A and B are shown apart, each in its own frame.
Chain A
Amino acid sequence: MTRTLAVVAFTVIAVTGAQAHHSSAMYNQEKTLTLRGVVTQVRWTSPHVNVSVLADPGRGQAGVAWVLEATSPGNLMRAGWTRTSIKVGDRVSVVVAPLRDGTHGGWCRGVTLVDSGKKLEC
Chain B
Amino acid sequence: MAYWELTHAKAWSIAVFAALAIACGRPAVTPPNAGTATASLPDWSGIWLPDIEDQFAQIFSNPLPWKPEVAAEVKRLTVAEAAGHPKGLFANCLPEAMPAWMLVSHNALEILFTPGRVTMLGESDGNRLRRIYTDGRSHPADPDPSFHGHSIGRWEGETLVVDTVGVLPQTYIAVSEAVGVPNNGGLHVVERIHRAGADVLLDELAITAPNVLTTTWMTTRRFTRQKGPNADILEGVCLQGSFAEQTDARGDAVFVPVPHTDEGNPVPPPAR
Query: Do the two chains belong together in a single complex?
Result: yes
The segment from A55-63, A72-80, A113-121 that touches chain B is A72-80
Using known A-B contacts A20-B88, A23-B86, A25-B178, determine if residue A78 contacts B231 with beta carbons closer than 8 Å. Answer: yes
Q: Are the C-beta atoms of B259 and A50 separated by less than 8 Å? A: no
Q: Are the C-beta atoms of B84 and A21 separated by less than 8 Å? A: no
**Which interface class (under 10, 10 to 19, 20 to 34, 35 or more) fits B?**
35 or more
Q: How many A-B residue pairs have CB under 8 A?
A: 123
> Closest residue of chain B to A13, judged by CB?
B244
Interface string of B211-236 (1 = CB under 8 A from A): 00000000000000010001111111
Q: Are the C-beta atoms of A14 and B267 separated by less than 8 Å? A: yes
- Which one of B232, B236, B241, B272 lies within 8 Å of A50 (CB-CB)? B241
Q: Are the C-beta atoms of B88 and A23 separated by less than 8 Å? A: yes
Give, as a whole number of angstroms, the nearest-CB distance from B125 to chain A: 7
Using known A-B contacts A22-B177, A23-B86, determine if residue A14 contacts B237 with beta carbons closer than 8 Å. Answer: no
Q: Are the C-beta atoms of A46 and B91 separated by less than 8 Å? A: no
CA gap between A63 and B86 in the complex, in Å: 30
Interface string of A12-27 (1 = CB under 8 A from B): 0111110111111111
Using known A-B contacts A46-B236, A71-B106, A74-B107, determine if residue A7 contacts B241 with beta carbons closer than 8 Å. Answer: no
> Closest residue of chain A to B240, judged by CB?
A45
Please tell me if B16 contacts chain A, counting CB pairs below 8 Å.
no
Query: Which residues A67-122 have CB closer than 8 A to chain B?
Result: 71-75, 77-78, 80, 100-101
- Which one of B108, B124, B178, B230 lies within 8 Å of A23 (CB-CB)? B178
Q: Are the C-beta atoms of A75 and B86 separated by less than 8 Å? A: no
Chain B interface (Cβ within 8 Å of chain A)? 49, 81-93, 106-108, 123-125, 176-178, 226, 230-238, 240-242, 244, 258-260, 264-269, 272
Subset of 25 A-B contacts with CB under 8 Å:
A13-B258, A17-B264, A17-B266, A19-B258, A20-B90, A20-B91, A20-B241, A21-B91, A22-B86, A26-B85, A45-B241, A46-B124, A46-B125, A46-B234, A47-B241, A50-B241, A71-B106, A72-B234, A73-B124, A73-B236, A74-B123, A75-B106, A75-B107, A78-B230, A80-B230
